[in-house]
Amino acid sequence: MTGASARDAPPISTGMDWSTSTIFSTWWGPGATAESSDLLDRDANLLQPLECDGPLPVFRSRYVMSLDSTRDTILTYEGIADYYASVEDDLELRSYLRDLLGPSTPDRRILEVGCGPGHDAGQLRAKGFEVTAIDLCEPFIDRARVRYPEVDFQLMDLRAPEFEDASFDGVLGMAALVHVVPEDVPPTIERYRSLLKPGGRLVLWMADSPKVDYYDVPDWGGASSRHLRMWCHDRTMLSMAMKHAGFDDHRIIQLQSDYYARMARLQENDVSLYVIVGAVSP
C-alpha cells in the first residue's frame, strides 16, 4: 500500500457547532473569509483549493475495480446484515451530517446512496423529507423496508443511480464511497450532480489518510471468511472531482468524533474523517 501524496495545507479556520458539539476545521479556498463560515449560507465563498486548467487528472492506474471486489463487499454485508443493523455508532455526528442537507420540508426530495439498513434515511423521513434510498445489499433493503415503510428503498448501484436528472433536492452518502475505488469516484460524483435540482446539495462523508490508499477489514462483524476493503479518498482529488462535475461551490470540513477516534483500524492507518458539501446554483 502506498501513502497519499503530500499536499500543502491551506489556511484553517476552526470552530464549534454548538448545536451538535461537533468540532470542525474548515478548509478554505481563495477569497473565503471567517465571516462566511455558515455552511448553510448560499452566498458564502466556498472552497476551491485547486485550479485545474485542463481535464481532470487520471487517477493512478493501479486502481482496478473488479467484479470480485464488488461481489465480496456485497456478500460480506449480506453475511453481517443483522449485526450491522444493530450497531449504533456516532449518532451525534450522523445528525450533524444530515443537517447539512438544509431545511426539511415535505416538498424536498432526498436520495441516500449506500443506505445500509436505512437508519439515516428513516431519520430524514421523520424530519419531513421525501426520501429515496438505495443499496446493493438485498438483506439491508429488506430490513429497511420493514422498519421504515415510508421510505422508498430500492436495490441499486450507488455509482449509477437510475433516476431522472434534476429529480432530487439533496444527495447524501454516509461513508458509502469507501467501497468505491478512486477512479470510479469522479463519474459517480458527476452522476450525483446530474440528479440534483437547482439549489440542491450533495453531502458526502469521506475519509483519507497520509499513510495508506486503502486498508482491509478482515473480520468485521465476525465475517472472517470475507473482508471489506476501505478506500481512503484524498480530499484534494475529491475537490478536483467536485469542481470538474460542476460544483464550483463546495467546501470540505474536517470531522472529529470520539467514537471513531477510538477505533483501532482508523488509528493504525492514520485515517481522518471529513465531509465534502457541494451546492448547485439556484
pLDDT given at position 248:
85
DSSP codes joined into one string, 59-71: PPTT----HHHHH
CB 125 within 8 A of CB 152: no
- What is the spatial distance between Cα 153 and Cα 220, in angstroms, rounded to a whole number? 25
- Report the b/e string of 123-139 with b at 16+ CB within 10 A: bbbebebbbbbbbbbeb
pLDDT given at position 179:
87
Question: For the chain, what are the domain ranges?
Answer: 75-279
pLDDT given at position 77:
53
145 by Cβ neighbours in 10 Å (0-12 / 13-18 / 19+) ranks as middle
pLDDT tens per residue across span 70-90: 665 655 555 555 555 556 677
pLDDT given at position 184:
94
Tell me the sheet residues that pair with 134: 113, 154
Query: Does the pTM of the predicted model rise above 0.75?
Result: no
pLDDT tens per residue across span 195-252: 999 999 999 999 999 999 988 877 655 555 456 788 999 999 999 999 999 998 999 9
Regions in the chain scoring below 70 on pLDDT: 1-88, 219-227
pLDDT given at position 278:
98
Tell me the sheet residues that pair with 216: 229
SS3 label, residue 44: coil
Q: Taking the domain 75-279, which CATH number applies? A: 3.40.50.150
pLDDT given at position 137:
86
pLDDT given at position 235:
95
